[in-house]
Amino acid sequence: MSVKSYFSVRYDLILKDVPLGYDLYVNSSSLESKQKFIKLFPKGETLEDEDLSELKKKYHQLYVPEDQRKFYMQSLVGNVEVPDEKAADFIKETAIEYLHRVFDEDKEFSTEVLVETVHGCRDAVESMIDVLDDYNIDSLRGLIGKMSGHDFYTYDHSINVAMYCITIVRALKKNASRTELMHAGLGGLLHDLGKIKIPTNILNNPSGLSDAEYHEIKKHPDFGINLLLNGAGEIEEGIDVKTIGRVIHEHHENWDGTGYPNNLKEQEIHLLARVCAIADFFDAVTTKRSYSNVLTVSEAIDIMSKTTGKKLDPKIFKVFAAHVKHSKVSTAKELKMADSFDPSIPYEVLPIEEIEEMFNNEDFGKIRVIMEEEDKKKKTSKKVKHKK
C-alpha cells in the first residue's frame, strides 16, 4: 500500500475497551520523506488506556487504511465518548475527501472516480443520518456552527445542504425511512456536482458575473445529471440514480415555473429537489463566505417567506420555518430578496431590495374619504327604503 492509501486518526478518537472495527497502523519510518506502515492492532482487538499511552510516546500519528474509512466513521457515530461535533467533523472530512476527487482540477475525471465518489458520499450520508438522529432543523444550525470550515465554499455548502435536507425530510415525515433520508442527504451532497465543469474563477468571483458567465453557471444542473447518468450502470443497487439525478437537475427550478433549466413548476419538480431548494437558499444566505454578508436566521426566514409561491414550495417552507427559532423582523422598510437571486452566484452583497409601497399616505387618505362617502350613501339609501 502507498501512503495515499491511509488516513491519519486522532488519539482521542480511538475507542477504548471495545473491539476495533478497523486495522490500526503506525508509520515506523524516521524519515519525513519516507513512509513505512506497520499494522500494530488488527481489526477485532481491544485497546486500553495503557496501550494508547505507550503509542503516544513513540508515534505522533495513528493510521487506518483508506478502504476501512467507512468502518472507522461508524465507530464514532453514536458512541457516547465522542461529541457530536467531532463525529460530524470527521464525516465532513470524509465527504470532502470524496468530493475533492471529482472537483480536483489537477486530476483527470473518470467514471471510476465518479462511482467511488457516489459510494463514498453515500457512506458519509449514512453516518450523517445517525449523528443527526436527535437534531431538528434549529439545533442543526448550532452543530454546523461548531464544525470546522473549508477554504473551498462548495464543499462546506454541499455538506450543510445535505444535513439540512435530512432534517427537513424528517420534519415533513416523522416516520421517514432510512432509504428516504439517505436519498435526501445524498441528493443534497451532490446537488452541485455539475459545477466541476464550471471554471473556478467563475464560481469564486464575487465582483459580479457577466451575462455569459451566469449563462455558464446555469449549465451546472445539465452537466451534473449527465455526469451521474454516465456512471449509472456501475453505481450500486440501493442508490436510486434517477432520484439523485432529479435533485441535481431540478434544484434550481422555481415553484412558479420561472427557474432553470426546464421551467418546471409545482408538483412537476421532484419533492426532494424542492426540499433541496429550501436548504440551498437558507444555507447560502446564512453561512459566512470570506467575501459576503450574511443574514440572521430571522432575517433569512422573513425574506424566504416572501419568495414562497414563486421560488419555494409554500407548504414545505411552512414546515421548515416552523422548526426554526426566529422572531418577527422589525425594520423601517419592508425588505425582500431580488427575483434574480440565485444561490449559485457568489455575491459580494446579497441582492436585497426594499418593497415599494403600493400607496403613499396621501393615497390612503383619499381611499379613506372615498370609503366614508360610500358608507354614508349606503346608510342614506337604507333610511329611504325604510320610510317607504
What would the pLDDT profile of 134-161 be if each residue is shown by its tens digit? 898 889 988 998 887 766 788 999 999 9
Alpha carbons 155 and 97: distance in angstroms, whole number: 10
Which positions ≥6 away from 320 have C-beta within 8 Å? 137, 168, 171, 278, 282
Question: Are residues 157 and 36 part of one domain?
Answer: no
Question: Are residues 312 and 167 part of one domain?
Answer: yes
Question: Are residues 174 and 295 part of one domain?
Answer: yes
Question: Are residues 196 and 54 part of one domain?
Answer: no
Residues 266-312 have pLDDT tens digits of: 999 999 999 999 999 999 999 877 556 788 899 999 999 999 999 99
Using pLDDT thresholds of 50, 70 and 90, give the confidence band for residue 178.
very high
Domain count across the chain: 3
pLDDT at 55 over 50: yes
Domain boundary among the residues 46, 68, 90 is at 68
Number of alpha carbons in the 13 Å side-chain half-sphere of residue 71:
14
Q: What's the distance, Cα to Cα, between the start and end of the chain in Å?
A: 106
Question: Are residues 88 and 27 part of one domain?
Answer: no
Alpha carbons 193 and 121: distance in angstroms, whole number: 12
Question: Are residues 321 and 230 part of one domain?
Answer: yes
Q: Residue 90: give its domain's CATH number.
A: 1.10.3210.10
Q: Which residue has the higher pLDDT, 169 or 18?
A: 169
Question: Are residues 149 and 59 part of one domain?
Answer: no
Question: Are residues 369 and 240 part of one domain?
Answer: no
Alpha carbons 145 and 156: distance in angstroms, whole number: 11
Q: Going by DSSP bridges, is the β-strand pair 24-27/37-41 parallel, antiparallel, or unpaired?
A: antiparallel
Residue numbers of the domain that contains 141: 77-354
Using pLDDT thresholds of 50, 70 and 90, give the confidence band for residue 1.
very low
Domain boundary among the residues 29, 48, 68 is at 68
Question: Are residues 93 and 10 part of one domain?
Answer: no
* Distance from chain centroid for Cα 108: 26
Q: What's the whole-number average pLDDT of the chain?
A: 87
Question: Are residues 27 and 145 part of one domain?
Answer: no
Alpha carbons 354 and 369: distance in angstroms, whole number: 29
With pLDDT > 90 as the criterion, what percentage of the chain qualifies?
55
The identity of residue 94, as a single letter, is: T
Q: How many CB atoms lie within 10 A of CB 384?
A: 8
Alpha carbons 184 and 102: distance in angstroms, whole number: 20
Closest of 96, 89, 91, 46 to residue 73, by C-alpha: 91
Question: Are residues 267 and 152 part of one domain?
Answer: yes
Alpha carbons 196 and 186: distance in angstroms, whole number: 17
Question: Are residues 284 and 382 part of one domain?
Answer: no
Quick one: CA torsion of 100, 103, 106, 112, rounded to 10 degrees?
A: 80
